[in-house]
Homo-oligomer: A and B are copies of this chain.
Amino acid sequence: MTTQGTPLPRKAGRRSRADNAEVRSQLLAAARSLFAKHGYAAVSTRAVADAAGANPAMIHYYFRNKEGLYEAMLADTFKPLVERLGSLMAAPDLGPAPIRRVLELYMRTLGANPWMPPLILREVVAGDGRLRDWFIRQFASPGSGLLTRLIEREQAAGHLRADLNPTLAALSLVSLAVFPFAAMPVASEVFGMRVKDDYLDRLISHTERLFMQGTGQKP
């Protein structure tokens, strides 16, 4: 499971061939698409190489093995979002409507990168370790204490309904931020949804509203 071996591209001091790292990034893109769609075990390294228009040996060359490829793909995919979320929630003085801004950043990112929700869900659900620990660490720093504390602060400020347990509210918020996107293909059939242009806006507003005081009025 853990990669205990030597590093690979032995100190690429020289750039060559098509200015490059192009094959590497194409492998990452192919891996992201295939792993998101079919899951880790169902995707062969040959399939990734084919989809990237490369040779299986290139995976060994750049990433040592299948796990190394998967790990690099996850980091490449989620690092930007995790960093932006962290800096947003860790800010000493929150701007206006921080909960909504977290929701917006989260949902718009997932909406724009459809491969993210499946990857998140698979990592969350996967019983075996693989990258579960790495993934937990990624989302633990900005997602756990920070989100719970953000909710507490917003409750204290009177911006959020106070009758909710902060920890459960944080868990609910994440649930509502992730699941609907991963379930979109199915939900559109099950619930007969017509995913129109304003769907994302309506979903964000709806989710935010759940944590606010109900008005009793129709939306």
A→B interface (CB under 8 Å):
36-42, 117-118, 121-122, 124-128, 132, 135-136, 139-140, 143-145, 148, 161-165, 167-172, 174-176, 178-180, 182-183, 185-187, 189-193, 202-203, 206-207, 209-219
Contact = CB atoms under 8 A, between A and B. Distances in A.
Contacts of A118: 125, 127
B180 A175 contact: yes
Given A189-B140, A191-B148, A216-B162, A37 B128 contact: yes
List of 4 A-B pairs having minimum Cβ-Cβ separation, nearest first: A161-B214, A41-B42, A175-B179, A41-B41
A190 B127 contact: no
A148 B192 CA distance: 10
**Residue in A144, A161, A210 whose Cβ sees the most chain B Cβ within 10 Å:** A210
A211 to B, nearest CB: 8
Contacts of A39: 39-42, 122, 126
- The residue in A175, A193, A212 that gathers the most chain B C-beta atoms within 10 A of its C-beta is A175
B125 A190 contact: no
